[in-house]
Each structure stands twice: as structure tokens, then as C-alpha cells.
Structure 1
Amino acid sequence: MIHYTLACDKGHDFEGWFSSSDDFDRQVAARLVTCPSCGSLSVNKQLMAPAVSTARKKEARRALVTDQAQKETIARLKELVKSIRENAEDVGERFPDEARKIHYGEADQRGLIGKATAEEAIALIEEGIEIAPLPVLPDDAN
């Protein structure tokens, strides 16, 4: 990963991480790099002092980037799960029966959440009923 100090045409400084110099150039050309302060698409690299990299520094940076990416992914998953829970009916243990009723037209179409054993989930899938488990997130155990 390459760390760049960037600036927009309005004078806002910010940082960005890219897999390579070419990756930065491609993203700028595709208008994917924007100033987080004003949204400007006119972004340039700034002069930077070269960093001497050691194996220890590389490992620390890799852990930092991985940790940040993991935190962002978990935050997105939390929002997704929250949205699903807010927009679905929790039918608990009745989930397999309610999912079948909807699938076979015996009940109105609606979002459901609930519980099913592994065997019940497999049977639903084999019947062509689309289901997916909600992820268990790190904070869910607390």
C-alpha cells in the first residue's frame, strides 16, 4: 500500500492509501478520488518525504489497515442488520412455517426474521425458498 498526502484545488489537505501509483492514477482518471471536505474531483499528490520501511513498520501498517477495514466492514454489517430487523417481522420459531406460507402464496409477501435449525434451513433451501442467516457480529455476544 502507498500512502499519499493529497490536496484538492480548494486547498484542503487529506490522506489516501492506494495499492500502487498506477492505482492512484486510474482512480483519479475514473473520477473516484474526491476531497472529503468539499467533494472536489481536482485532486493532486503533494510532496512527501520518503519513508524508510522496515519489516516491523510494514507489519504494523498492514495490521492498522486490516484493523480499520475490519472496523468499517463490521460497521456496515451492523447498519445492514439493523435495517433488516427494522423492516422485517420477527416470527421466532415459526420462521420455517411462515416462510413456506409466503413462498406458496398462503400469506402476504413480507420480510421475515426468525429461527430455524440447520435441518429446517436446508429443507427450505431445497424447496426453493430463499433464506439467508443474519451475521453474528462481535458486539452481539456482549
Structure 2
Amino acid sequence: MSLKVFDLQCAQGHVFEGWFGSHADYDAQHSRGLITCPLCGNGVIEKKLSAPRLNVSGLREGKPPMPSPSQAHPEATSSAPAAGAAPSAAVQAQMLQHLRQVIRNTENVGTQFADEARRIHHGDAPERPIRGVATADERQSLTDEGIAVAPIPAMFDDDRLQ
């Protein structure tokens, strides 16, 4: 599955990435108000211009490809990407796999998400990781009450992909 990664910005100025199955997927989610800022929950989102990452250093005639940091500096053997550098495809795949596993280990409470999150927060239900469906207003209300929530894109939730 090929993903489209867009730079997005909320009305409060927070910039973040959004991962979508296609441009049409982004447009559909945006028009339905399903995209919100992960920092403040603001639903007024705009897509920013972003340049594709292309490695064309080896395409210039007569020039060898630029060495990787570990080739140029053998002492730099850390597996972590340099600050500001994009993680490799393998690292991204590993992160996505881990995120899906974390989501699989949550209880899907469906449309009762807001109510169940409040019950857990107030000690009226057992503490456990949950996921479900909530409107933008419900998410904002939970955030205002000090209950941490984060939207999960459908592509990470196996229940919503079926």
C-alpha cells in the first residue's frame, strides 16, 4: 500500500504530518471534518506545500552517489536517524507495525468512546486502553476536561479497514 504523506497545519499554527491512502482519501476525510490537530484538536486544517524527497545525487553523469553518513564517517554507526532526517523505509515500516500492534491491544468501545473515557477518568470503570468513535465536539470536550485523546487514522485501525 502506497501512502501519501502531507504536511498539514491547523488554525493555531501547529504543523504536523498526515498519512493518507490517496489524495482522494485526504479530501474525503477533510470534507467530513475527520482531520484534527493532534496537539490542540483544532479541526480547521489546511494542506501545506511540501517538496518530495528525492535522492538524485547518483543521477548526475560522472558523479558517484553520495555516501551514507556511516560510510562517510564509519564511527557514526547509530541506528537512529540524524536530527531532522527522515527515517528509512524499514524504520517507518517497523514504526507502523508497532503502532498497529498497540492499537490491536486496545478495547474498541465504538460510539461509546466519550462516555467510557469519562468513566475511566473518574474511576467508574477499570483503567484500560480504549479506542472508538467520537465527534470533533466530543474530542474537544474530553480534552477540555483534561482527558487525553488522540485521533487514530482509519488506516491504522484494522476494525475500520474491514
Task: State the TM-score, normalized to the length of structure 2.
Answer: 0.44
Q: Which is helix-richer, 1 or 2?
A: 1
Question: Which one scores higher on RCO, CA 8 angstroms, separation ≥ 6?
Answer: 2
Task: State the TM-score, normalized to the length of structure 1.
Answer: 0.50
Larger Rg: 1
